[in-house]
Structure 1
Amino acid sequence: MLNESMIRDIKLAPQGRLKIEWVENHMPVLSLLKKQFISEKPFAGKRIAVCLHLEAKTAYLAKVLQSGGAEVAVTASNPLSTQDDVVAALVEEGIRAYAWYGASPEEYEAHLNKVLDFQPDLIIDDGGDLVALLHRTRQTEAGKVIGGCEETTTGVLRLKALEREKKLLFPMVAVNDALSKYLFDNRYGTGQSVWDGINRSTNLVVAGKNVVVVGYGWCGKGVALRAKGLGAKVIVCEIDPIRANEALMDGYQVMPLAEAAPLGDFFITVTGNRDVIRKEHFALMKDQAILANAGHFDVEISKTDLAQYAVGRRKVRQNVEEFRLPDGRRIYLLAEGRLVNLAAGDGHPAEIMDLSFALQAYSLLFILENREKLEAKLYRVPDSIDRKVARLRLEALGIKIDTLTLEQETYLKTWQLDN
């Protein structure tokens, strides 16, 4: 597939294969699915386009889908998370790939368009860029799409907007909203991998410092929990009064960002919104404050405001850029304000993505098997799939759980309670 792909260097494939082999050994649910797919070939004759962070876990998902008989093409959902050696290994496995690390905005869009030239029947998106393109300029290809899945909060928000405006052209499954996804991927995956990226980039101690977590959804909960575990004093900034109360009862300080700005040593944005940290906040920050983003797009920290406010900037470490302010203070931005866990690290642990990607594979199967019944709407992952993935993980780990007796099931279903 090399002649049909756009990649950096096919010679990198051997080290990419090693990365894929490593995660394969730690993704038992996907491995069980692979055995099933090899036997049943449920995607035979179908083309699947995958727009995700192109690293080893995603590569294994692509191979599992391929084992089900699909032709697979991949592209990146973030140019700084692409690992060129992994992409090269996929091409050697017969999977089309259109991505390389550090792609310019023009190259990034060209890669998205190339994967749509593939004319997919099914898609997996992360952040909604592929779906947006299908609805803006590639509606011819959209007519061929049976349906797809969305991996992350930002993408689900965009799909909800499309559905609300009655413009969604095909059924999509909100994989992000499945219990087996956000309770684990968003909380434990983001929580660990964000600090992996920050620590790898800065090599600074976290214990005893003030960490400001902006946004207390499931990703924010994970980031705050791991910061607390590293010995930080955690401040949470929120707009939702329920989440603010939750953060308070979880033992964190809660305050507006304007009050937290002079206190923070580390700032991590996890909101899914834009311009969350702006010039008025930069003006209040202490010298050598460190900014990182864990939301999907690089818009949560206003890079425009920071660049305009600064009188000088330079790269001081890999994935660390220093902005010098007029009064001499320095603010450090990690990974260009992109997803710090992927742009400056390897992303979520393999065991976490095992759950998320198993949900993706099963959800594609659900769309294919029910395509005559599904409308152009946003669907939740069926509860049966959600729980099946959770059960498979427990089985893979050799863990057993209790089951209800017949009497207990009956008790829970009746309103007539007796002793």
Structure 2
Amino acid sequence: GMKEMLVSVSEETTMGVKRLYQMQANGTLLFSEETTTLLFDNLYGFRHSLPDGLMRATDITIAGKIAVDCGHGDVGRGCAAALKAVGARVMGTEIDLICALQALTEGIPVLTREDVVSEAGLFVTTTENADIIMVRHMKQMKNAAIVCNIGHFDNEIDMLDLEAYRGIKRITIKPQTDPWVFPQTRRGIIILAERLLMNLGCPTGHPSFVMSCSFTNQAAALHLGKPGDKFRKLTPEQAACIR
């Protein structure tokens, strides 16, 4: 089968790597993780592609807006840095104590969704987890609040219940930019990229230099050990020192 024909497989996304860890745990795969995605893609890539996507999709003025960074891991840190750089008042939500501490030391208040849902004008999910922004949150948002996902999966924003909400009205301004108006309040929120990755749906993704760093690293890893390559390995004692 195909498995026997493969020499190696390369996975670019952070969540994809987590799935590979799961496969490794059950014995179906052996792999090693390279750090360029964590250090470059997730920080510097999203720092560029988030504001790029917001500009292309909405032409909004970010300066002065209250922006909620849902999750302050590597992706969230890049997004928060980009939003702060253009004058947004950034707030964060987080469940990990270390990530929350990082946000606080970067001047970002850490609150709950319920604390900020009616105040903010922009919500960005970066968690790579499910059920981050639900319909009950969207109903409380101010008119024309922008909601987008840049984490990974399409279940961070509860679009299934939003689409099924009685009397909800969808207005497509242009592809990937859709206000959804609630019948009771007649307030509308703007969903970007239909809950999918807005940095791919609205702009063109990360800058080529950022991506080339990851791909070059992956390509180099595939060629290690070829005839003529020489590199030494740690002794067991050395390896034990850095575990």
Scaled to the shorter chain, the TM-score interval is 0.7 to 0.9
* 1:345 matched residue in structure 2: 203
SS state at 1:286 partner:
coil
Structure 1 ranges of 4+ moved more than 3 A: none
SS state at 1:226 partner:
helix
**2: CA distance, partners of 1:200 / 1:247:** 27
* 1:157 matched residue in structure 2: 18
Q: Which residue of 135, 139, 142 maps to 1:283?
A: 139
**2: CA distance, partners of 1:157 / 1:263:** 34
SS state at 1:318 partner:
coil
SS state at 1:323 partner:
strand
Paired residues of 1:149 and 1:172 also in contact (CA < 8 A): no
Paired residues of 1:148 and 1:173 also in contact (CA < 8 A): no
Identity, % of aligned pairs?
36
* 1:354 matched residue in structure 2: 212
- Comparing 285-294 and 225-234, the one that deviates more: 285-294
Q: Which residue of 65, 68, 75 maps to 1:212?
A: 68
SS state at 2:160 partner:
helix
Deviation sequence 1:298-317 (CA, Å, 0-9, x none)? 22111112212361112112
Normalised by the size of structure 2, how large is the TM-score?
0.87
**2: CA distance, partners of 1:173 / 1:364:** 11
Q: Which residue of 174, 189, 200 maps to 2:33?
A: 174
Task: Give structure 2 stretches of 5+ with no counterpart.
Answer: 234-243
| Structure 1 position 335 matched with structure 2 position 193 | yes
* 2:3 matched residue in structure 1: 142
| Structure 1 position 272 matched with structure 2 position 128 | yes
Give the aligned CA root-mean-square deviation in angstroms. Answer: 1.9
**2: CA distance, partners of 1:344 / 1:320:** 8
* 2:148 matched residue in structure 1: 292
**2: CA distance, partners of 1:305 / 1:161:** 29
Cα deviation for residue 365 of structure 1 reads 1.8
* 1:321 matched residue in structure 2: 178
| Structure 1 position 195 matched with structure 2 position 51 | yes
**2: CA distance, partners of 1:143 / 1:275:** 38
* 1:392 matched residue in structure 2: none
Aligned length: 227
* 1:364 matched residue in structure 2: 222
Q: Report which of the two structures shows the higher radius of gyration computed on alpha carbons.
A: 1
SS state at 1:316 partner:
coil
Cα deviation for residue 369 of structure 1 reads 4.0
Bigger helix share: 1
SS state at 1:284 partner:
coil
**2: CA distance, partners of 1:194 / 1:369:** 39
Normalised by the size of structure 1, how large is the TM-score?
0.52
Deviation sequence 1:201-246 (CA, Å, 0-9, x none)? 0001000001111111111101000100010000111110111111
Deviation sequence 1:66-121 (CA, Å, 0-9, x none)? xxxxxxxxxxxxxxxxxxxxxxxxxxxxxxxxxxxxxxxxxxxxxxxxxxxxxxxx
Paired residues of 1:150 and 1:172 also in contact (CA < 8 A): no
**1: CA distance, partners of 2:190 / 2:62:** 15
